[in-house]
Chain A
């Protein structure tokens, strides 16, 4: 099997365009989290013409609702949630906010893939059901927005060698059948 590529987030369009479906990636750097409730709030803020509480340009969003951090650890288990639930919101974040990458599990719809092709964004699959393993790659976690949402809040994560697979690339090629 081909060696995994080491990539650091945030990253630019050229990096996105160099990633091909099937590539294994070890992602380091800084990413933010967000799932159903946070995406709805992002959308409401955009509708109201207000700024988002986090910068999304060239950033990666990880669809995750982590467990609370036990004593001595920065975060609890933190595996991906089903990405399809974010399909209604992702195209707008890619087109209007410059979102470059998404991490989740399961396939995406045609509108998301179209936006990824047009604006240059990549979709990574993390290993669903491996939350304890993934938590080891998260070095720091701090609340970035909407703390009242509990596990659905937006967190800023510092990660090191998070194992991912490019599931859908910016040319629209997909590993899902």
Chain B
């Protein structure tokens, strides 16, 4: 059994907060470069050039890509042959989140009570932690800071199984088009299909972690991703919702077995600043 220090998790988590906020992943940068050449609308081309310039400034000056540095959402895979020397991993991640958001001058966007008080906690905690146990003796931490503007455009529907493929396509495409300019298009579209109500939402969020444009390994779902992307981009919503050929950069679908009476579908959007950062300890 391997032992890892609690403070190693805290320090790694704090460092990831900065990395995710400042450095746009290479796959996203490459895609934005392609789009700057492929977009037809003059305003749209101007926006893509601004996104690329913004990414350069963010990385070189350590300024967050977006002022909404988000809810700290952690995906953790913890090997069964590793233990912390003390404490709980979710406590270490909360501590690291608080340190990282302060140290790197990130915005604190969490309010303590959702309905009545809505007082800022001023350290961006609590974070959200999704923990799974895996084989081995390593801990993998993935941080996906989630901005409010794109998260607010999420959608969930429990379709009837008879609505099938066409029902899924219609629901996802309609959700993205009706979000318009709100989620800062061009977006990355995460889709969860199957599972239960809460699980399909988590699948949609996990889908956003995939390398941009990497297809689902099942060719049927890969084809569905392409069909949905083409329909979204035919809408003309465009960058920032101000018209153009590119409304979404990619559609990623994750699926899971579901109840014979159900066909749950969830949509979770990331803006073009599709941030995530990971480390294996």
- Which residue numbers of A lie inside 8 Å of B, CB to CB? 1, 22, 24, 37, 64-70, 73, 76-79, 81-82, 84, 105-107, 125, 127-133, 135-136, 149-152, 163, 165, 167, 175-177
Asked if B10 lies at the interface with its beta carbon under 8 angstroms from chain A, I say no
- Which residue numbers of B lie inside 8 Å of A, CB to CB? 42-43, 46-47, 50-51, 53-54, 57-58, 61-69, 105-109, 118, 120, 122, 148-149, 152, 180-182, 184, 236-237, 240-243, 271-273
**Sample of 17 A–B contacts (CB below 8 Å):** A1-B42, A1-B43, A67-B67, A67-B107, A68-B106, A76-B107, A78-B67, A81-B148, A81-B149, A105-B149, A127-B47, A127-B50, A127-B54, A130-B50, A130-B54, A131-B65, A150-B120
> Contacts of A165 on B, CB cut-off 8 Å?
43, 240, 242
- Distance, CA A175 to CA B242, complexed state (A): 6
- Distance, CA A81 to CA B67, complexed state (A): 9
- Given A82-B149, A132-B57, A177-B237, also A68-B105 (CB < 8 A): yes
Q: Which residue of chain A has the shortest Cβ distance to B62 in the bound complex?
A: A70
9 further interface pairs, Cβ-Cβ under 8 Å (given A24-B43, A76-B67): A67-B107, A70-B105, A77-B67, A106-B182, A132-B57, A132-B64, A151-B67, A175-B243, A176-B180
> Contacts of B242 on A, CB cut-off 8 Å?
125, 165, 167, 175-176
User: B51 touching A176 by the CB < 8 A rule?
Assistant: no
User: B182 touching A131 by the CB < 8 A rule?
Assistant: no
> Contacts of B273 on A, CB cut-off 8 Å?
129
User: B51 touching A105 by the CB < 8 A rule?
Assistant: no
> Contacts of A127 on B, CB cut-off 8 Å?
47, 50-51, 54, 240
Looking at chain B's contact residues, is the secondary structure mostly helix, strand, loop, or mixed? loop
Which of A69, A76, A163 neighbours the largest number of chain B CB atoms within 10 Å of its CB?
Answer: A76
B15 to chain A, nearest CB (A): 16
User: B63 touching A135 by the CB < 8 A rule?
Assistant: yes
> Contacts of A151 on B, CB cut-off 8 Å?
67, 107-109, 120
- Distance, CA A131 to CA B122, complexed state (A): 20
User: A37 touching B63 by the CB < 8 A rule?
Assistant: no
- Distance, CA A149 to CA B47, complexed state (A): 31
- Distance, CA A163 to CA B51, complexed state (A): 13
- Given A77-B63, A149-B120, A176-B181, also A67-B105 (CB < 8 A): yes
Q: Which residue of chain B has the shortest Cβ distance to A152 in the bound complex?
A: B120
- Distance, CA A136 to CA B50, complexed state (A): 12
- Distance, CA A106 to CA B150, complexed state (A): 11
